[in-house]
Amino acid sequence: MRARLALRVSGVAYEHREVALKAKPAPMLAASPKGTVPVLCLPSGEVLDESVDIMYWALQHNDPQGWLPSSPEAQALVDGSIALNDGEFKAHLDRYKYPQRFGLENGLQHRALGAKVLMQWALMLEANHQTHSQMQAYLAGLQWGLLDACVAPFVRQFARTDRQWFDAQPWTLLSQWLTAFENSEAFVDVMAKHALWAAPEA
């Protein structure tokens, strides 16, 4: 989702090919043997198969809304926050959402540990809200940016696991931030269903 968000906002032209991960097409595996999505094949022959790499590639070509960090300090904050999201938080999210896959009776312990990371996002939103005195708070500061786009899809997965519990937690700005994302035109666009792509027969 986050790669699609960045490609959308950049306006860079690309061909979308929807694939079923239970029946990965041979051209996809030839391009990226690890077999995960997303995969972006560039005209140069280079292949990007990490979503954050695709985001940076797209935004470095065109960043009309100023998603990229504007200073070394902001870049360092974004780098550290993405590492936290993609590492520690993603590990807790997976175990909370799919405890049986990890031999767990339930995911409640990992819900509690993941909530500690969510509180960091909530405090960041609160700090930006107070600093900029604006109605809507963003992780990136004055406006939605790269960090928001990187984190929001994972927070959404966490929230959807038990939305009633999530909405009852003391992170009002985080809940508002997530709801605004889910109600955005960008979210609707990237969630649009695509027909499965069929690899051409040899």
| Structure confidence at residue 90 (pLDDT) | 98
pLDDT digits (tens, 9 = 90+) for 36-65: 999 999 999 999 999 999 999 999 999 999
pLDDT digits (tens, 9 = 90+) for 174-191: 999 999 999 999 999 999
Domains delineated in the chain: 2-65 (3.40.30.10), 72-186 (1.20.1050.10)
| Structure confidence at residue 133 (pLDDT) | 72
DSSP label of 200:
P
The helix/strand/coil state of 147 is helix
Q: Please choose, from the candidates 78, 43, 61, 44, the residue with its C-alpha nearest in 3D space to the C-alpha of residue 7.
A: 61
Specify the pTM.
0.93
Structure tokens given for 57: 């590639």
| Structure confidence at residue 190 (pLDDT) | 94
Mean pLDDT value across residues 151-180: 97
- Radius of gyration (Cα) for the chain, nearest Å? 18
| Structure confidence at residue 193 (pLDDT) | 92
pLDDT band at residue 72 under the 50/70/90 scheme: very high
Please give the Cα distance from 147 to 75 (Å, whole number): 10
* Rounded to 5°, angle at Cα 181 from 50 and 150: 20
For a pLDDT cut of 70, what percent of the chain falls above it?
A: 99
Task: Answer yes or no: are the C-beta atoms of 32 and 41 closer than 8 Å.
Answer: no
Whether the predicted pLDDT of 202 surpasses 70: no
Task: Answer yes or no: are the C-beta atoms of 152 and 178 closer than 8 Å.
Answer: yes
Mean pLDDT value across residues 105-120: 98
